[in-house]
Amino acid sequence: MYVQPFATADKHRGWAQCAAVCKEWQTILEPKNFAQLALEPSCLDDLETLVIRQRPLVQHICLNIDLPRYACRVCKRNDSMSSHRSTIISRAILRLFSILSTWQPTGRLTLELSASSPNTRDWTQQEKAIRWHDPKHGWVDGQQVKTPSPPAIMRLFSPLCLNVPQSLPVLRHELFPEVLKALWEKLPRLESIVYELWRPRRHHYQIACAYELVFLVQRSVPKHVKRVSIFKDFNNQLTLALNNAMPHLGRDIGTTSAVNLKLAKAFAAKSHHLEHLSISYKIDAQQFFTSCQQLPCTWNLLHSLTLTSSTLARTVPHQYIYTLLRNASSIALRMPQLKTMVLWNSEPRQACAVIHQQHTASAMGTLTWRGTWNLELSDDDVESWKKVAPGPCYLRLEKEALHDVDSFP
């Protein structure tokens, strides 16, 4: 178990040891030492027995699960099965939840779940990739010249199916939506959800998961959740490789549009109960605002809204961009507590963002264009955003140029 040290400077490295022998030092050092815990499954027994009096001090727990190395099927070596990886993760999560179920709620606790194998970590070492020369696996002198096969890609991004017992005491990813539902139901004080999705999926599988996510958002996001952040990887390279390998499956554009619109409607309805919402590349901002226009409600709780849109691109006629911004301002009028709205795009050579902020203390609002390309806002757009500010409020227009940047979050 790793406990965050109070003093990071080398000359104070031994300070944390003082807490073990002096109660006066404990009151000073322990709040910092136990604020953030980084755990491995082997540490969980220590967590249960050692951290008792200090439980109220714990604010963040990160469970890092090491998975077995996976072998290469091209090399004809045996590989660990996906079910084995699921079992390892399931046992670790259930063990942690079982321990946390004995804790008394004392404040906000952030739980971070992470799993990786040693092979996966190798991909993050770019300096090692520069030296790779492995023609058999598509690498020549540090350059990838051949796309991995679909089975190789899917082994990296295959979803996990965890058997979460419904009979557990209250405890309540990529994971199947049903797994997320089971986890959320076991966390009765859950306030914030951060969910990161990987894009590499065959098209028909993406559609199926999207429909499951629609149902999940509509029926299973707890009402006590205040903040939702969903980020979908925007790199299409691996997805294109999967779809090109199976062209006979085709792509039903009509089905894709229908499920995306259903998902936008689900998030529009759910955002009525949220304080913060951020969705990147899972739905388009235009679909979200269109769905909001069909709802007769006011978003009295929403403080911040962040969305992506493919309309924000230099190749798109400006009139479509202006329409998007006016639709955004009309919905912002129905969000009286809104302090920040961000619309952005980070596709290659299209990076930009439109940022609206309300500064209550100074009775001033700002509308900022930030990007690698320039857009002159229309007079109608500016006037529509002036109406968003409650009462007399000055709207300041700002521009920030980004140079030599291919993508922008």
What are 333's two structure tokens? 């009028």
What is the reported pLDDT for 355?
97
Q: Which of 84-98, 160-174, 340-354, 385-399 has the highest mean pLDDT?
A: 340-354
- What ranges in 333-397 are assigned the alpha helix state H? 379-386
What are 193's two structure tokens? 């959800």
Q: Which of 98-112, 232-246, 366-380 has the lowest mean pLDDT?
A: 232-246
Type of residue at 218: Q
pLDDT in tens, 281-334: 889 999 999 999 999 999 999 999 999 999 999 999 999 999 999 999 999 999
pLDDT in tens, 18-28: 656 667 777 77
* Phi, psi angles (nearest 5°) of residue 192: -135, 135
DSSP 104: P
**C-alpha span between 293 and 303 (Å, rounded):** 18
Q: Do residues 298 and 337 make contact, with C-beta atoms less than 8 angstroms apart?
A: no
pLDDT in tens, 342-352: 999 988 788 99
- What ranges in 143-252 are assigned the alpha helix state H? 150-157, 177-184, 203-219, 237-245
**C-alpha span between 105 and 114 (Å, rounded):** 23
Q: Is 201 exposed, middle or buried (0-12, 13-18, 19+ CB in 10 A)?
A: buried
pLDDT in tens, 215-234: 888 888 888 899 999 987 66
**C-alpha span between 239 and 225 (Å, rounded):** 32
What is the reported pLDDT for 1?
45
Q: Do residues 301 and 274 make contact, with C-beta atoms less than 8 angstroms apart?
A: yes
What is the reported pLDDT for 175?
64
Sheet-wide strand order for 394-401: 192-197, 227-232, 276-280, 304-308, 340-345, 352-359, 364-371, 394-401
* Phi, psi angles (nearest 5°) of residue 128: -75, -35
**Does 82 or 270 have the greater pLDDT score?**
270
pLDDT in tens, 158-215: 555 555 444 443 333 356 677 778 788 888 888 898 887 765 455 556 676 777 788 8
What is the reported pLDDT for 9?
40
Interstrand relation of 364-371 and 60-66 (parallel, antiparallel or unpaired):
unpaired
Report the pLDDT averaged over residues 71-92.
65
Distance, first Cα to last Cα, the chain: 33
What is the reported pLDDT for 159?
54
Assign 366 a pLDDT band (cuts: 50, 70, 90): very high
**Does 46 or 25 have the greater pLDDT score?**
46
3-state class (DSSP) for residue 345: strand
What is the reported pLDDT for 48?
82
